[in-house]
Amino acid sequence: MKWILIFWAMPIVVLGTWYGLSYNDINFGYLILSRRMNDFVFELYGSILGLPPKEIPGLVVRAIIMDTFILAGILAFRRRKAIAEWWRARQAKSESDAAALAMDESLSSAP
């Protein structure tokens, strides 16, 4: 599971870094990080997909969010026993805290 998380996060970090640097034209002398390359890449993808280039970053963000939810669901499914145990312990603790609070309130109102 560790490798799945690594191979999921690595492209997101690389893409996000490239997009952030190229969108703001922080290129450090590299053409690939320039705003011209950013515009060219999105023009190319837009012509391939038949979409306006301004819509593509939003579609990529929505795809990343959907992938994140799918991966979180898989992770939660794989660890469902530990999550259920944690939830039961949390509920038992909150019930005991509520009972202790009720006991304190009843004692504090005694004459």
pLDDT in tens, 30-79: 999 999 999 999 999 999 999 999 999 999 999 999 999 999 999 999 99
What Cα–Cα distance (Å) separates residue 107 from each residue in 67, 110, 111? 53, 5, 9
Alpha helices for the chain (secondary structure H): 2-23, 35-49, 56-78, 80-108
Residue 25 near residue 34 (C-beta atoms within 8 A) = yes
Q: What is the pLDDT of residue 104?
A: 61
107/74: higher pLDDT:
74
Distance CA 93, CA 75 (A): 25
Nearest to 59 by CA among 21, 15, 25, 14: 15
Is pLDDT at 87 greater than 60 in this prediction?
Answer: yes
What's the mean pLDDT in 77-105? 83
